[in-house]
């Protein structure tokens, strides 16, 4: 029996439940607040937001399953023939209190049209305020292991895709240290069951990876200078999400819930005119590592 969109949607719901539980356990203070919503054109979702925790200052773990008439601008952008759509997935962004804990984003999703077209998309990327090479290596090795379980070419291909996608063109720097990104994985890539198994492993890999970063860094001391740098890096995150992120644009173009779409933004951020860090500082070192095509797994 072939897997259905309802099967996929239900699994994404269970993934949301599992990730929220693991994050609450790791934070040891804050709990997610749920805000169910309905989309006027069809479908809805569950927005879950956490704030003022021991580790997490603000974050969201969102589930959605929406459907209806595909907007003309989406049809044109994706070069699709007119048909109704169904889209479901889980999207996560977490902003920590401590500058030594990185920002993280994950999205896993499924898209289907009434004319039979379907595909999966998603990925995980990490945005450290300060790049720690050992943590970057652990992160990329973890993703490579997941990819290698499914296809020998996935990690190299999807890592390059992430480097290109999570790039702030007007700053000529990457948003962070990348990760993996993939989109429109459909019948030309393999069976729906095999691709869904890959997406499931990506989703299940998220919480163990990030809760390790939480545990390792939540008690590290930091100065006001490091907090100021965190606010500047958050500003870069905002610039990418509002100017370049296709997921933000898709959500707004399909009349998704604005509060849920913009939950990715940090509680505070800062912009300083023409800011340049001191030479040989840890801030300048981080900027030097915000580049495409760095091989983070070469020493492992």
Q: Is 105 a catalytic residue?
A: yes
Q: Is residue 166 a contact partner of residue 158, using CB atoms and an 8 Å limit?
A: no
Q: What DSSP string runs through 48-111?
A: EEEES-SSEEEEEEEEEEEEEEPPHHHHHHHT--S-EEEEEEEEEEEEESSTTSPEEEEEEEEE
φ and ψ of 231, to 5 deg: -65, -35
Rounded Cα–Cα distance for residues 51 and 61 (Å): 12
Asked if 55 contacts 97 with a C-beta cutoff of 8 angstroms, the reply is: yes
Strand 118-127 to 167-168 pairing: unpaired
Structure tokens at 284: 């300048």
In angstroms, the CA 211 to CA 95 distance is 13
SS3 168: strand
Q: Which of 95, 105, 129, 140 is catalytic?
A: 105
Quick one: DSSP state of residue 262? Answer: G
DSSP state of 169: T
What amino acid positions are annotated as catalytic residues? 105
């Amino acid at each position: 029996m072939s897997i259905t969109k309802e099967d996929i949607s239900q699994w994404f719901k269970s993934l949301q439940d599992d990730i929220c539980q693991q994050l609450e356990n790791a934070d040891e203070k804050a709990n997610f607040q749920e805000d169910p919503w309905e989309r006027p054109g069809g479908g809805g979702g569950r927005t879950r937001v956490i704030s003022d925790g021991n580790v997490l200052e603000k974050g969201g773990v969102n589930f959605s399953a929406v459907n209806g008439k595909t907007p003309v601008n989406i049809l044109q952008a994706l070069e699709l023939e007119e048909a109704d759509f169904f889209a479901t997935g889980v999207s996560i962004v977490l902003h920590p209190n401590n500058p030594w804990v990185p920002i993280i984003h994950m999205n896993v999703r499924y898209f289907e049209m009434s004319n039979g077209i379907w595909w999966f998309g998603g990925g995980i990327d990490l945005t450290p305020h300060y790049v720690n090479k050992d943590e970057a290596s652990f992160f990329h090795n973890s993703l490579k292991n997941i990819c290698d379980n499914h296809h020998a070419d996935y990690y190299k291909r999807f890592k390059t895709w992430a480097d290109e996608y999570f790039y702030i063109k007007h700053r000529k720097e990457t948003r962070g240290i990348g990760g993996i990104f993939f989109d429109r994985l459909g019948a030309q890539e393999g069976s729906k069951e095999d691709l869904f198994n890959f997406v499931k492993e990506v989703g299940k890999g998220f919480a163990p990876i990030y809760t390790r970063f939480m545990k390792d860094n939540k008690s590290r001391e930091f100065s006001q200078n490091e907090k100021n740098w965190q606010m500047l890096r958050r500003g870069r995150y905002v610039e990418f999400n509002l100017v370049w992120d296709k997921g933000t644009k898709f959500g707004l173009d399909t009349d998704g819930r604005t509060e849920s779409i913009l939950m990715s933004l940090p509680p505070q951020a800062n912009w300083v005119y023409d800011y340049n860090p001191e030479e040989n500082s840890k801030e300048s070192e981080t900027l030097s590592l915000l580049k495409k095509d760095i091989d983070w797994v070469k020493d492992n």
